[in-house]
Structure 1
Amino acid sequence: MAFQTKLSEAIQLKAKCELGEDEDRQQQVIQIIRQWLVQQPHLHQIRIDDYGIVCFARGCKYSLEKMKNKIDLMFTLRTALPEFFSGWDPMKPEIQAALACGSFLPLPDYDQHGRKVIIIRPGCYDPYRFKPEDIEKANFMISEVMVLDDEQMFVTGMVIIYDCQGYTLNHLTQRPLSLTKKHMYYLQSAPLSPKTINFIRTNSVFQTAYNVMSTMVNEKMKQRLRVHGSNMESLYKEVDQKILPKDFGGDGISLEELTDYWKKKVEEKREFLIESENNCRVDESRRPGKAKTAQDIFGIEGSFRKLNVD
């Protein structure tokens, strides 16, 4: 069955003008990528539908070579990062608890530029009670479910808001530096990168974390970082106030309601998430040339167990 877009006419026009997208080009790209996947023995286990291919196409502005590289890289990373992409059962007690924290909360409405807005809350959980790996698994599961129903963001882009309220030195020191490095590597390798990353409700610990994170992002990403601190008016210039949660002075639903919404949404998609874990594995034993290991990709991380802060 041919891919059928659910985009509004206005967003379809944007895709046509900015990405050169039309129905014929979509179908051609889907066919080429399908043929290419058949020719890649290490990717035979991968299950990617036409919608997924179109998402990659939009994120890569219909560059076939970039698409091939991104598809290979994304699924290679998902295989090499069991910390994030294994044990995807939302009913596991540790995942249930992580989902209830509300660490990763996409907003239901788009901003004034039609962009998806995602709130990330690194200080919303007790760092001594939760493993950061479980928080990240819950976050990536929410992201996976979000993408299922959010075709628009691959045309209009997304914006991230880091709400740093509650973030402490313990959050920083209890998270292995290697985990942060892998997370940042994955995010910068994804076909869709944020238009801006906005930090709000920051405190004294934030600057230390920000300095560490800044060393792990490329120059292009550094240009997209915005620190608003407690100046919410500054944030409103970047993201339409009306769509923001009540907690941020907006008219949208609260962070608590968003947390409940996404927890239920992920639970409803339990079967899909368990299957997607198995359907996204690269068979490195069949890769042409040299197999890729986590050490090849990320280097030796053994010395980065915990971040020491004076």
Structure 2
Amino acid sequence: MDCAAGRGGVLSRAWIYSTMSTNYNFQPATPKEIAFIKKRLGLTEEDTEFAVKKLREWLEMQPHLPNNIDDARIERMYINCKCSMERTKIGLDAYFSLKHRMPDLSMKRDPLGPDVEQTKNNIKMMVMPRLTKEGYRIIINTQLDPDPSSYVFATHAKMVLMELEIMMGEDYSLGDVYVIDLANATMGHVLRTDINCLRNSELLSRTAYCRRIKGVHFVNSPKTIDAVVKLVKSATSEKLHTRIHTHLPGSTTLFEHVAREYIPEELGGTAGPLEKFSYQLFNKAYDMRDWFLEQDNYISDETKRPPDSKLAQDIYGAAGSFKKLSVD
């Protein structure tokens, strides 16, 4: 359904909402998996409750930050930061403050917007429903439209970040592994990828959402792979560079890093067909539409930021410090 084409306007959007919002079969971490994650971090329920309480108290004392974030998100930030209070404080500040610098990625996030519908026609996105045995989430992008003329990287990145936002509210993991299928990628797609937008989306992922990137795998690598890898490395930390892998068409080297059971059949795995997973997590955004739009109201007031705030330097003066904090 293409909202941009204007088929019925409001009727079209209502139809999308009614049919897509109920089609949601993503599986958050099970109690057993949550226990595994907390055990890996040496975290008890008492530790968690105490940390969330102290972080909430800290947030309420920050004159420039709103207090409109639920305990579930604070808890998952704390877990994603490997139980570091200071890292989590930086994450909380960034969660509200980076909206000023990156509104195209973190504001006006309407799942029924024409930009979202256009991107859904151009690429298939999915977060695989099962955690790996290491406690990682597998995030896959595949079946890119070979015609780059309508590809907008900023919208694609915004939708990935919306998925991270959903997971921060209701999921647990120890990190993310990205699998990016470049079978249809051309130099035209590379040229339409804004390096500043790529850098900002990485910064948001690894600070505002405190995600840990455990691997990036480019599969079906085309002739343009050198340009793609160069672009990605220019926008990411050196530590992440060692976690970037390329896999030639027809190769099985991906499965040296990720078991087949977590990968769709079309990419050589055994998890099932792509259509079973495509946009299943993102469909949750339709139920959360009002919530996503409301979040534009909750943004830092930089006129009230304490002049001696160390976090101001971390966020605005040394973006690299975020990378050092989050890639581990």
Query: Partner letter of residue 31 of structure 2?
Result: S
**Residue 269 of structure 1: CA displacement?**
2.1
Could you say which residue in structure 2 is the equivalent of 1:304? Answer: none
3-state SS in 1 of match to 2:139: strand
Matching residue within 258, 266, 272 for 2:285: 266
What percent identity do the matched residue pairs reach?
A: 23
**Residue 70 of structure 1: CA displacement?**
2.1
Q: TM-score, length-normalised on structure 1?
A: 0.82
Q: Label 1:127 to 1:250 Cα distance change in 2 as closer, same or farther (>3 A).
A: same
Alignment root-mean-square deviation, CA? 2.8
3-state SS in 1 of match to 2:166: helix
The answer to whether residue 198 in structure 2 is matched with residue 199 in structure 1 is: no
C-alpha distance in 2, partners of 1:246/1:6? 23
The answer to whether residue 149 in structure 2 is matched with residue 128 in structure 1 is: yes
The answer to whether residue 13 in structure 2 is matched with residue 24 in structure 1 is: no
Moved more, 188-197 or 167-176: 188-197
C-alpha distance in 1, partners of 2:274/2:237? 31
**Contact 1:161–1:197 (CA under 8 A) maintained in structure 2:** yes
Q: TM-score, length-normalised on structure 2?
A: 0.78
**Residue 13 of structure 1: CA displacement?**
4.3
**Contact 2:126–2:279 (CA under 8 A) maintained in structure 1:** no
Could you say which residue in structure 1 is the equivalent of 2:72? Answer: 51
Residues 108-127 of structure 1 aligned to structure 2 (within 5 Å): 108-121=129-142, 123-124=144-145, 126-127=147-148
**Contact 2:123–2:144 (CA under 8 A) maintained in structure 1:** no
3-state SS in 2 of match to 1:229: coil
- Once the two structures are superposed, residues 140-170 of structure 1 have per-residue CA deviations (whole angstroms, 9 ceiling, x without a partner) of 223322333322x1xx322111111211111
Could you say which residue in structure 2 is the equivalent of 1:305? Answer: none
Moved more, 253-262 or 58-67: 253-262
Q: Label 1:234 to 1:201 Cα distance change in 2 as closer, same or farther (>3 A).
A: same
Could you say which residue in structure 2 is the equivalent of 1:8? Answer: 31
- Once the two structures are superposed, residues 181-235 of structure 1 have per-residue CA deviations (whole angstroms, 9 ceiling, x without a partner) of 3223333435221211111111111211211221332222112112222254211
Unaligned runs of at least 5 residues, structure 1: 300-310
The answer to whether residue 205 in structure 2 is matched with residue 187 in structure 1 is: yes
**Residue 7 of structure 1: CA displacement?**
4.6
Matching residue within 271, 282, 297 for 2:300: 282
Residues 93-172 of structure 1 aligned to structure 2 (within 5 Å): 93-121=114-142, 123-124=144-145, 126-151=147-172, 153=173, 156-172=174-190
**Residue 114 of structure 1: CA displacement?**
3.2
3-state SS in 2 of match to 1:160: strand
C-alpha distance in 1, partners of 2:146/2:44? 45
Q: Label 1:232 to 1:149 Cα distance change in 2 as closer, same or farther (>3 A).
A: farther
Could you say which residue in structure 1 is the equivalent of 2:11? Answer: none
The answer to whether residue 101 in structure 2 is matched with residue 83 in structure 1 is: no
Moved more, 233-242 or 128-137: 128-137
Structure 1 runs (4+) greater than 4 angstroms displaced? 290-293, 295-299
C-alpha distance in 2, partners of 1:274/1:121? 28
